[in-house]
Structure 1
Amino acid sequence: MTLFTDELKVMTAKSWEKSMTHPFVVELAEGTLPEEAFKRYLVQDMYYLNHYSKIHALAAVQAEETAVTHMLLKQAQETIAAEMLMHTEHARLLGMSTTIQTDIRPLPTAYGYTSHLYRVAMAGSLGQTIAGLLPCYWLYADIGSYYRDSKPVNPLYASWLENYGSELFQKETQVQIDLLNRLAELSSEAEKEKMRDAFKRAKEYELAFWEMAYAGEQWPSEK
């Protein structure tokens, strides 16, 4: 039997391939990514992760099972907190401001992505919310696994890959995959279609996030 998440992966195959082979990712793994691009990514991902943890909290409220509520809160408190700690350390090593987290002004893609997740969480179901959250986990886990043997000279890029290729992050990702499959089994076709839409849009934003960081992005009035 084909799992719901397998269907989602096939549905977004083109976007997935472009994300895995985007110049931002390839050059990071090679160690040749310009630091300005990484800094831009770092700042916007801090903004994203701050809201990503809040979406987990909203999902925890949506959950009817106490075990699922606890799991989602644990993910927000531990997994995402660890990512934020890593980003903060990277920012320090890059000589960026210690007040960076309070000074962040989101770029259009980061703002749009988090807005999408809030919309799904506030107007949809737990299944839709988890579907929206999953591409971030899954894509980063795939990148960490695929580029595990890469040895970029830049220690920041090496630690980034090590974090997402770690056994812990791979396990946390599988927990989310398993949860979405379980929720899909209990859902109507109409509900699953909404879950597909939430996943697909989030996956497109993941690809756009790389482009935002690599090529640079501005609000229209600032160009």
Structure 2
Amino acid sequence: MSGFVESLRLENAAGWDGCVKHRYVDELLAGTISDEVMGRYLVQDHRFIDAFVTLVGAAVASADQFESRLRLGRFLGMVCSDENDYFIRSFAALGIGDERHDIPDAAPTAGFKALMKEAAATRSYAAIMAVLNVAEGLYLDWAQRLDGPMPENFIHSEWIVLHDNPFFVDFVTFLKGELDRVGPAEAEVARDFFRRAVDLELAFFDAAYEGDA
């Protein structure tokens, strides 16, 4: 019998698969994505860090087990160090300077930031786990599609490795276990946040190509 998270993935299969098999993922894994699209994507993705740190912090505060708080705390430290460093180096390599701060949030960016803050404000561990399972599990799924050599450009290769490494795989497994454990007691809340997160992820991937031919 499948678990709660698997049932949510099946309910949202079209959106989930739309992200994992998106043009953005195909081009990223092949190392053929244009600097313009990658830059547009990273500028918007970097906007999530503040809301994401808030979300993970709320998960630490609302977790019902000490070991869960420790796991989430270790992950929070990684987000605030390794991942943020990747963004800074990538912006420099792409020639994207402080002008990026003047670029407005794309609609999916604003929507996802609002969703993360909404989930954090609920203090519902199930709601928070639902959003995290999409934000992290979906990225692991697309990163594990790599079936050839790693792209040579560090902007591409490090973004893939950040989302497919032993620590990250183990953390996604932990997130799935947590939502399987606490989700059924708040099934409708978890289902709502999971669905909206998947829809926003797909819109976010699409937005990276807005303005391209």
TM-score of the two chains, using structure 1 as the length reference: 0.86
List per-residue Cα deviations over 1:22-51 (Å, max 9, x = no partner): 111111112221111111111111111221
Displacement of 1:202: 0.4
* CA RMSD, Structure 1 to Structure 2 (Å): 2.1
* Residue aligning to 1:21: 21
Distance 1:83 1:101, change over 3 A: farther
Q: Is residue 47–residue 101 contact of structure 1 (8 Å, CA) maintained in 2?
A: no
2:90 maps to 1:95? no
Q: Is residue 39–residue 91 contact of structure 1 (8 Å, CA) maintained in 2?
A: yes
Classify the secondary structure of the residue corresponding to 1:2: coil
Moved more, 77-86 or 54-63: 77-86
**1:99-178 equivalent positions in 2, closer than 5 A:** 99=98, 105-123=104-122, 125-178=124-177
| Structure 2 spans left out of the alignment, 5+ residues | none
* Residue aligning to 1:208: 203
Q: Is residue 148–residue 161 contact of structure 1 (8 Å, CA) maintained in 2?
A: no
Displacement of 1:167: 1.8
Displacement of 1:60: 1.5
Paired amino acid for 2:135: C
Q: Is residue 31–residue 154 contact of structure 1 (8 Å, CA) maintained in 2?
A: yes
Q: Is residue 23–residue 214 contact of structure 1 (8 Å, CA) maintained in 2?
A: no
Q: Is residue 151–residue 158 contact of structure 1 (8 Å, CA) maintained in 2?
A: yes
State the alpha-carbon separation in 2 of the partners of residues 150 and 53 from structure 1: 32
**1:24-43 equivalent positions in 2, closer than 5 A:** 24-43=24-43
Paired amino acid for 2:105: P
State the alpha-carbon separation in 1 of the partners of residues 194 and 81 from structure 2: 23
* Residue aligning to 1:198: 193
State the alpha-carbon separation in 1 of the partners of residues 172 and 45 from structure 2: 18
Q: Is residue 148–residue 165 contact of structure 1 (8 Å, CA) maintained in 2?
A: no
Paired amino acid for 2:59: A
State the alpha-carbon separation in 1 of the partners of residues 103 and 84 from structure 2: 14
Distance 1:81 1:176, change over 3 A: farther
Count of residues paired in the alignment:
212
Paired amino acid for 2:145: Y
Distance 1:102 1:69, change over 3 A: farther
Q: Is residue 163–residue 169 contact of structure 1 (8 Å, CA) maintained in 2?
A: yes
Distance 1:149 1:126, change over 3 A: same
2:57 maps to 1:68? no
State the alpha-carbon separation in 2 of the partners of residues 21 and 216 from structure 1: 21
List per-residue Cα deviations over 1:59-81 (Å, max 9, x = no partner): 22222323322322222122453
Displacement of 1:111: 0.9
Runs of 4+ in 1 over 3 A off after TM superposition: 99-105
Classify the secondary structure of the residue corresponding to 2:163: helix
* Residue aligning to 2:178: 179
* Residue aligning to 2:57: 57
Distance 1:148 1:89, change over 3 A: farther
